[in-house]
Amino acid sequence: MLDLYFPGTSFLHRMSPGPKMLTLMVAATLLFINESLVLTVGALVIVLALYPVAGLTMQQAWKQIRPLLWIFGLFFALQWWFSGLTLAAYVVLRLAALILLASLVTLTTRSSDMIETMTRALGFLRPLGVNPAKVGLAISLALRFIPVLAQITQEVREAQKARGLERSVIAVAMPVAIRTLKMADDISDAIESRGYRS
C-alpha cells in the first residue's frame, strides 16, 4: 500500500498514534496562539532538530515544504508589502513549522496504525449509530477502488481512442461513471449475498 510512512525505530516511531496526534494538536494550537517571531523561529528549529532524531533526513523535511513554496512566496510578498518584514517572516515560518511538525507525525506513523486508532476512537460514537466495523469496510473498499477506477479509466480511454474520441472529456467520463456505478451496485449485491449484516 502506498503510504507516506518512513520506517524507523526512534521514540517518535514507537509512540502510539493517539498520544502523538494529541501532542500535535496541542503544539499546533500553541503555535497558532503565539505572536512572537522569536518563539516561532525557536519552534521551527526544534521541529527541524526532531527530523534527525527520528532518523529522517533534511531532504525529507525539504520535500514537505517544496510543494508549498509558491504559497509561502505569495504570503511573504503580500505581508511584506502591506505589514512589514517581521510579520511576513512570522507568518511564513509559522506555516513552515506547523507543516513540518504535522509531517513528522505522518512520516513516523503507519497509515494502517493511524486508521486503526481513528476507527477505535469512533467507538465512542457507537450510541449515535456509528459502527466501527462498517467504517473499516468502507476504508478497505475505498482503498481497493482507487486502482480499479484508474484501470477502468484507462480501458475506456483506449476504447474511445479507437473511435478518435480520446480528447473528449465527456466521451471518457460518461462510460467511466456508468461502469463504476454498475460495479458499485454489483459489489454491494455480492457483499449482501455473502451474508454481510447491514
Partner 1 sequence: MDTKSIVYIALFAALTAALGLMPPISFAGLGLPPITAQSLGVMLAGAVAGPRRGGLAMLLFIVLVAAGLPLLAGGRGGIGVFLGASGGFLLAWPLCAALIGVLVQARPDASFVTLALAIGLGGLVLMYACGIPWMAFVGKLGLSKSLAIMVAYVPGDLVKVVLATLIVRGLRRAYPTL
Q: Looking at residues 25 to 44 of the shown chain, list those that interact with partner 1 (rule: CB under 8 A).
A: 28
Contacts with 48 (C-beta within 8 Å, 6 or more apart), sequence order: 58, 61, 100
Residue range at the interface with partner 1 (CB under 8 A); choices 8-16, 46-54, 60-68, 155-163? 60-68
Contact between 60 and partner 1 (CB under 8 A)? Answer: no
Query: What character string, x for contact with partner 1 (CB under 8 A) and - otherwise, covers 123-162?
Result: ------x-x--xx-xxx-xxxxxx-xxx--x---------
Among 39, 54, 93, 115, binds partner 1 (CB under 8 A): 115
Query: Packing angle between helix 37-53 and helix 58-65, nearest 10 degrees?
Result: 130
Using the minimum distance from each CB to partner 1, give the nearer residue, 58 or 177.
Answer: 177
Total residues binding partner 1 (CB under 8 A): 72
Shortest Å distance, C-beta 180 to partner 1: 6
Q: Which of residues 168-187 bind partner 1 (CB under 8 A)?
A: 169-170, 173-174, 177-178, 180-182, 184-185, 187
Shortest Å distance, C-beta 11 to partner 1: 18
Shortest Å distance, C-beta 8 to partner 1: 14
Q: How far is Cα 81 from Cα 75, in angstroms, rounded to an integer?
A: 10
Among 43, 47, 51, 64, binds partner 1 (CB under 8 A): 64
Among 33, 49, 163, 198, binds partner 1 (CB under 8 A): 198
